[in-house]
Structure 1
Amino acid sequence: MSDAVTEPVARPESEGVIKLTMLLGGVVFLLMMIFGLIMRAAQGDLIYLDPTIFYQLLTAHGAGMVGSAALSGAAILWYFTARHVPLRTGIYIAFLGLFLLGVVLILGSIFIGGYGGAWTFLYPLPALSGGAWEAGAAVAFILGYLFIGVGFLLYYLELGIQIITRYGGLLRGLGWTYLFGGSDEDVPPPTIIAASSVLVFNTIGIVFGAAVIAASIINLLFPGFEVDPLIAKNAIYFFGHVFINATIYMAVTAVYELLPDYTGRKWKTTRLFVGAWFAVVVFVQAVYFHHTLQDVNMPAWTMAVGQIISYSSGVPLMGVTVFSLAVYIKGSGLKWDLPIALLVLGTVGWGIGVIPAIIDGMVAVNKILHNTMWVPGHFHTYLLLGEVAMAFGFAAWLVKDKTKEAMSGLDKLLLRAYIGGGAGFVLMFLWSGAASIPRRWAVHYEYWQLQSQLASLFALVVVLATLGLVISYARGLLRRN
């Protein structure tokens, strides 16, 4: 067992722009939740929403939530990585600028160009709109992704350069030399292990995404250029699955860095910890196969891999991170406040969210559940009760009033409302999926509407709780300034 040798500094120089990023992320989270509430209310026949508008909101909601999760996760990872290696603030600002440029293109393509092909831009759908949008709108949407991807590649390049410089190579940054019998001298802290792992698998995912994005743009501009749809689907879902998972793996570094401040117990780099992250690098890339289990022309071995890796992918999370969290908390005398409560919720919610994913990864079950509300149920658990909770926990810590150690009455109310509303909301998705209610349908039959109506109620509670968290963070920023 090895302690990290690099003592963290108090505040990275990029703290100001990180705070701004978290404010942007919080506002977008809130807006996308409102979009989600509107869609669920429409499905429950509580309001009328034109199906064309529904699919535009669906596209914006998916792209916006994934983008906000990625942005907040990147801010968290940058903040804590900068405690251990020097990171240039100018690079982060360039990343943020490219990201925001991509957001402008995406929003313009949806709300001006009318694009409604969902956040996955599944080929050849962007070019087959049935007159709902022009090819230029689809190009703008996909170009937005391209700019965001370039921004992230720049971001990861800076992480890689600084980690390699500090630790003498990426394998050392990953901890793999230590894992396979190396000395425990100068073993990186958990945050560097996480940063190195994420930059490896998410860079690979973004490169695949960039390739299919380029092919899709060429197809939109020159329809005679065709792409194999099955290859395109594999590349898109590989990119999408890796990218959304990376958001959570970036955000969990807040738990590694902040929990020791509350428990007095340092989160240590052990061979078990490094081994778990080694497995993550492999599993995050291989598990996407469960998105192709219904493609009968995929090779049979991909179905086996998809099922086995879906089972296995939960082991590093539940067997190491969640279990370690419980061990670090037990008997520590931890004094709960809003930041640590949200961070713990995020870790536990992440662990719970993997269970529906494992169930969906079973070939026999996947044939029934994958195109139902079950799938949004599992990834809303990952995000709403996982990454988003971690992001708000980190944000609350950034503006924490150091004179107060306990949660105020308002903090307790916001936390309970967020947990209760979020849990009820995702359970409605899972109930709907178990009842074989399809996903991505703008209009629901009357006998499907009860779950949507209840989900709308829970969503309203989450929106109000999130509004309170965003206002609390903004007030904290003003108070600190």
Structure 2
Amino acid sequence: MESSIHPLAKKTVIYYLMTTSIMLILMMILGVLMLLNQGEMITITPIWFYKIMTAHGIGMVGIAALGGTAIMWYFLSKYIKLNPTIFLLNFTLSLIGVVLIFIAIFGFDFSDAWTFLYPLPAQSAQIYGIVGPLMFLLGVLILGIGYLIMYMYLAKRFIKEYGGLGKTLGWDYIFRGKKGYGPPAAVVASTMVIITNSTAILAGAIVIIGSIINIIYPAIRMDPMLAKHLTYAFGHIFCNATIYMAVIAVYEVLAKYTKRPWKSNKAFLIAWNASTLFTLMIYTHHLLMDFAVPTWMLIIGQVFSYANGLPVMVVTAYGALMIVYRSGIKWDFASSLLFLAMFGWVAGAIPAIIDATIVVNHVMHNTKWVPGHFHTYMGMGVIAMILGFMYYFNKTEGSIKHNRFDTFSISLYFTFFTGIVGSFLYAGSISTPRRWAEHMPEWVLSDQVGAISGIFVVLATTLITVRFFTGLKGVVNQPNSIN
């Protein structure tokens, strides 16, 4: 693998991971500030609270996407030849988008949450001026364009190398009775991401362009319900895609550590095909409280939200257990975090499935229960996968070795992240609302537990990041590496 990835791509992986790790700490600090304010341990004005909330939400999703993309590109380079210029272009457009977004938030007071739900941007423009909303929406659009270009390029390469996206999803093995094993797991997962996230980005582009037009020409309006569908199709699918990019590290790294290849058998291929279809539909569980939505669509949102939690997650979690069982694997920072990430992913899906039940959703969806499940599978799942890959990258491309410091960092991270998500889920169970700057006295204790836990998570992440940057010296000094 070391000789198969282009030197520019390897250098760009470092750019992605450095940016991801630094931004991760900053966004975590913003999250802790919100909890400290809700827990009455510090005081933040409501205007600043919602600006921080907007930055934290969209920033964390962007971080997960950057880290997941680095994982996907790095391992795909093992199987097909890729043009690193496309990889670098996506990084550049992502940075431009992020800069515009943060200038809009902290320079022009845009604070409509990462969902920028129509017509909030236009209403914000009437209060603070049009620059902030336009800059925010343009930043998100530029970021999406970068990913869309990358996905279209990867689709083209897959079609050339394998003969079509149907083949990279294993249709020959599922429908035509072809014997043996399908394409590598990294290729199968990437195909799913290309299909679902390209659809999401196009949906997002439609509502973003519509919002921009509405801000400039208020007489031109969108149907609010259509705008909400497009927004949540974009946001929910994009968030899910970060998981499916990052999980490639689980397939590749555990297979290498155990010396047992992760084979794409028929069950594996069926699971990924099912998830490709389900992921496109389940955003509708965000609309269960909207009485104007057709009943059949709400039923789809509930039923397939249940179903989507099973195929890929089950085959991946079960596969991880089987590939490790009696393998004699050597546990280090990478293998430990990637294995524990399976727990975070599965654990995060359980409260999500509960929330997708209509009668529960009506009571729980606008409470902290939702950030509880989201932080579980993002923080203890996706981010754990990215952090594990950061160590693996330094080990594979450099000379870093596991030590007791790494074991301590992992323990600190997972112990106190459990405290954060536990405080969120408990708060949701007592109907503590999400996205409120101020809380009633009976809600404050859970906020304080979350804030204190968050401080230790920031500490653990800082230790891991310092370790990563220290390890990069070995990568840079490695002969025939990125010099």
Sort the TM-score into its range (normalised by shorter chain): over 0.9
Residue correspondences, number? 473
Which structure 1 residue ranges, 5 or more long, are not aligned?
1-7
Q: Which residue of 1 aligns with 2:58?
A: 63
Look up the equivalent residue of 2:5 and give its one-letter code: P
Offset of 1:187 from its aligned partner?
3.1
Q: Which residue of 1 aligns with 2:229?
A: 234
Q: Which residue of 2 aligns with 1:447?
A: 442
Tell whether 2:166 aligns with 1:171.
yes
Counterpart-to-counterpart distance in 2, 1:37 and 1:411: 23
Distance 1:328 1:444, change over 3 A: same
Q: Which moved more, 1:311-320 or 1:108-117?
A: 311-320
Q: Which residue of 2 aligns with 1:41?
A: 36
Distance 1:440 1:134, change over 3 A: same
Q: Which residue of 2 aligns with 1:4?
A: none
Q: Which residue of 1 aligns with 2:386?
A: 391
Q: Deviations over 1:29-81 (max 9, x none)?
A: 11000000000000000001011000000000001000010111111101111
Contact 2:54 2:111 in 1 (8 A): yes
Which structure 2 residue ranges, 5 or more long, are not aligned?
477-483
Contact 2:34 2:49 in 1 (8 A): yes
Counterpart-to-counterpart distance in 2, 1:246 and 1:93: 20
Q: Which residue of 1 aligns with 2:339?
A: 344
Q: Which residue of 2 aligns with 1:3?
A: none
Give the secondary structure class of the aligned counterpart of 1:129: helix
Counterpart-to-counterpart distance in 2, 1:67 and 1:394: 17
Counterpart-to-counterpart distance in 2, 1:264 and 1:399: 20
Offset of 1:133 from its aligned partner?
2.5
Look up the equivalent residue of 2:230 and give its one-letter code: A
Give the secondary structure class of the aligned counterpart of 1:400: helix
Q: Which residue of 1 aligns with 2:406?
A: 411
Contact 1:87 1:158 in 2 (8 A): no
Contact 1:22 1:395 in 2 (8 A): yes
Contact 2:413 2:456 in 1 (8 A): yes
Q: Deviations over 1:315-347 (max 9, x none)?
A: 113421111111111111111000111111222
Contact 2:394 2:400 in 1 (8 A): no
**Which aligned runs of 4 or more in structure 1 are off by greater than 4 angstroms?**
8-11, 401-405
Tell whether 2:151 aligns with 1:151.
no
Counterpart-to-counterpart distance in 1, 2:3 and 2:343: 27
Counterpart-to-counterpart distance in 1, 2:284 and 2:58: 21
Offset of 1:131 from its aligned partner?
5.8
Contact 1:114 1:132 in 2 (8 A): no
Contact 2:173 2:181 in 1 (8 A): no
Alignment of 1:51-450 (within 5 A): 51-129=46-124, 132-184=127-179, 187-400=182-395, 407-450=402-445
Look up the equivalent residue of 1:335 and give its one-letter code: K
Tell whether 2:5 aligns with 1:12.
yes
Counterpart-to-counterpart distance in 1, 2:458 and 2:388: 16
Give the secondary structure class of the aligned counterpart of 1:226: coil
Contact 1:190 1:268 in 2 (8 A): yes
Counterpart-to-counterpart distance in 1, 2:262 and 2:39: 46
Counterpart-to-counterpart distance in 1, 2:132 and 2:348: 34
Give the alignment's Cα RMSD to 1 decimal. Answer: 1.4
Q: Which moved more, 1:131-140 or 1:240-249?
A: 131-140
Counterpart-to-counterpart distance in 2, 1:177 and 1:152: 28
Q: Deviations over 1:364-404 (max 9, x none)?
A: 00000000000000111111001100000000111128777
Counterpart-to-counterpart distance in 2, 1:10 and 1:394: 18
Counterpart-to-counterpart distance in 2, 1:375 and 1:297: 22
Look up the equivalent residue of 1:330 and give its one-letter code: Y
Contact 1:287 1:306 in 2 (8 A): yes
Normalised by the length of structure 1, the TM-score is 0.96
Normalised by the length of structure 2, the TM-score is 0.96
Offset of 1:440 from its aligned partner?
0.1
Offset of 1:95 from its aligned partner?
1.0
Look up the equivalent residue of 2:14 and give its one-letter code: K
Look up the equivalent residue of 2:166 and give its one-letter code: L
Counterpart-to-counterpart distance in 2, 1:416 and 1:185: 40
Look up the equivalent residue of 1:440 and give its one-letter code: R
Q: Deviations over 1:176-234 (max 9, x none)?
A: 22211242468311110111111011101111111111101000111111110000000
Give the secondary structure class of the aligned counterpart of 1:128: helix
